[in-house]
Amino acid sequence: MPENETAEELSAKVERWLADFETTLVSKDASQLERLFTPEAGWRDLVSFTWDMRQAYDRDAIGELAFSVVDDIQPRNFRLAASRPAPQRTDYPGLDYVELFFDFDTAFGWGTGFVRLNDDESQPSGLRAWSLFTELSELNGYHANPPHIREHALGTHGKGGDGNWLEQLTEQHALVGRDPDVLIVGGGHSGVMLAAHLKRLGVEALVIDKNERIGDNWRKRYRSLVLHNPTEMNHFPYIRYPDSWPEFLPKDKLANWIETYVDLLELNFWTSTEFLGGAYDDATGTWTASIRKSDGTERVMHPQHVVIATGGAGGKPKIPDLKGIASFKGDVMHSSQFSGGAAYAGKKALVVGTGTSAHDIALDFYKNGATVSMLQRNPTTVVQVDTANLAYASYFTGARYEDCDMTAAAEFIYPKLLDNLRAYTAMTQEIDKELLDGLEAAGMRLDVGEDGTGWVMKFLRYGGGYYLNVGASDVIIAGGISIIQSDDVAEFVADGATMKDGSVAEFDVIVLATGYHNQQTETEKYFGAEVSELVGPISGFAPEGGELLNVWKATPQPGLWFMVGGINQARVGSPGMAFQIKGYLADLIPESLRVHPKSAGVLEDAPA
């Protein structure tokens, strides 16, 4: 870092870097890339340059990707971001970087970028980029109303025809004689966020959910469920949570919020409505999609796009083949059917699995007076919840979540993500050493992932195999919850499980906290084997890394989209997905960028 550098001097440097970047893009001068990027630099783009979610892992790849799209995208007018933090120096991770937010224009709208730069006085700007992130922020002609300018509501001043606001809104949402542009299957956080963004772009979307009440996909889950990441990073777009809300959201509070969000934004949401499946017509570019409403009647719709937003909890439960389990005379249920342990006070419970849901359920049994054991089948990554949340440290600095989302998304460049997570995981092992030693002494097998990247990559790769400790680990260490290794079990019998040493462990109830199948299973259920095979796995990574497979982006099947992940993932992914869908509906996407690459790789099942 130069001594006594002023803010003006730093701004002059970054503005020179932006000007050089724009000149290089316009001229497609590969020789100038050396002035702009370090050899190991990476770039991640969400829609702004590629109409896709793409990554480039080194300087040459950055140039190859950028120069291949520049004629269609016409990026220009690179400038310091008007509504973002000013350029600043920061330690990341343990090294001195310049961090810069910038805006730019394209042929289709305007985007926002974030870049981390190293000092390099041999270059004209004195800086070279180590990582670059860009995303589309607005589409020309399709944007929100200007600040402080509101339209007349339906039913006022002649707006919308006859009837008051409620009557006209009800009529609109009934979709009599017309179909939505987009059918969103699943009304959890992902589905309603996407619907909100699509509405802002003038796209008519219908959200359907098989539950009786908006938010029931959270409300009906086990009674002790509380989010394990803090409220600061779980805001919904457009409307923030009240400042008075607790640090970790209970499931019922989140369920009620989704219901309130739908009401406030006037999203079209049909409850008690089941998606039966659909077939795509290449000639018309529409789906023939069948739904069943609460009264048992069926309706056929012809949307141009279908989005599956059922997530893990809405997917098909994974039921393991446990030897002899059919002979067990007690209660057996999947975790999706578990509502609470109050009915099992004084009983003996076995939870199969040692992931997050398994720990939560075991703790719920324990608090309700049951004798609890957990059956471990695979090593588990365990982290104290406060330690785990160090991965999201930027969200707790007082910065706006919109800025934190950008810096977090910028870290998702795959090779850099792995390196950062290995360092972070090693740190968590040191911080949590006492906890981990106690768990191992209690008989639990632990790991840090197959490549040392810990719980975060387990979540991204297969959505399980880890636990962020909010209390169950302490009970395990104290002996309140016992651990049984699957290798020690011979088979299940009427009263419980016969162990390989000949003893019998007796149980009254067994809960299978064994996760859910990949959404590819649902793809086959709804659309047939041919479409399922064409699309491939949903989420996880191809062997070479990159973006999550078939998530938040166009799939090889035209008009079919998938959403997965937590609230903060949906907040980052849903606007880009909405822009892509609008791009197809409005015929904005250049032909050269409409290629749908086939998914690669086979996903591993999540450890449970």
Give the SS3 label for residue 559.
coil
What pLDDT is recorded for position 163? 82
Supply the DSSP symbol for 355: S
Within 10 angstroms of residue 231's Cβ, the number of other Cβ atoms is 20
pLDDT score of 1: 59
Name the residue type at position 457.
M
Helix (H) or strand (E) holding 206: strand 205-208
Please give the radius of gyration of the chain, using alpha carbons only, rounded to the nearest integer: 26
Closest CA to 604 of 378, 376, 352, 391: 378
Residues of the chain with pLDDT under 50: 145-148, 313-314, 597-606
pLDDT, position 597: 43
Per-residue model confidence (pLDDT) at position 602? 40
Domain 7-139 CATH assignment equals 3.90.700.10: no
What does the pLDDT read at residue 603? 40
Q: How far is CA 88 from CA 99, 116, 124, 504, in A?
A: 5, 10, 19, 64
Residues 6+ positions from 351 with CB-CB distance below 8 Å: 358, 361, 362, 365, 372, 373, 374, 375, 510, 511, 513
Give the closest residue to 255 by CA, choosing from 212, 304, 297, 285.
212
pLDDT of residue 149: 52
Count of residues for the chain? 608
DSSP label of 242: P
Query: For residue 506, what pLDDT is reported?
Result: 97
The whole-angstrom separation of Cα 561 and Cα 19 is: 37
DSSP lists the bridge partners of residue 129 as: 37, 117
Domain 170-314+560-593 in the same topology as domain 7-139: no
Residue reference for tokens 């509502």: 339
Out of 3.20.20.120, 3.40.50.720, 3.50.50.60, 3.90.190.20, which CATH number does the structure's domain 325-512 have? 3.50.50.60
Sequence-ordered alpha helix ranges (H) in 214-351? 216-219, 251-264
Answer yes or no: pTM beyond 0.85.
yes
With CA atoms as reference, report the closest residue to 496 among 487, 505, 488. 505
Instruction: Parse the chain into domains and list their residue ranges.
Output: 7-139, 170-314+560-593, 325-512
- Cα–Cα distance, 546 to 552 (Å, whole number): 13
Q: Three-state SS string across 284-311, please? A: CCEEEEEEECCCCCEEEECCCEEEECCC
The pLDDT of residue 160: 62
The H-or-E segment that residue 506 falls in is strand 504-506
The burial of 606, by beta-carbon neighbours within 10 Å (0-12 exposed, 13-18 middle, 19 or more buried), is given as buried
Distance CA 98, CA 117 (A): 5
Please state which architecture CATH assigns to domain 170-314+560-593: 3-Layer(bba) Sandwich (3.50)
SS3 string, 169-199, reads: HHHHHHCCCCCCCEEEECCCHHHHHHHHHHH
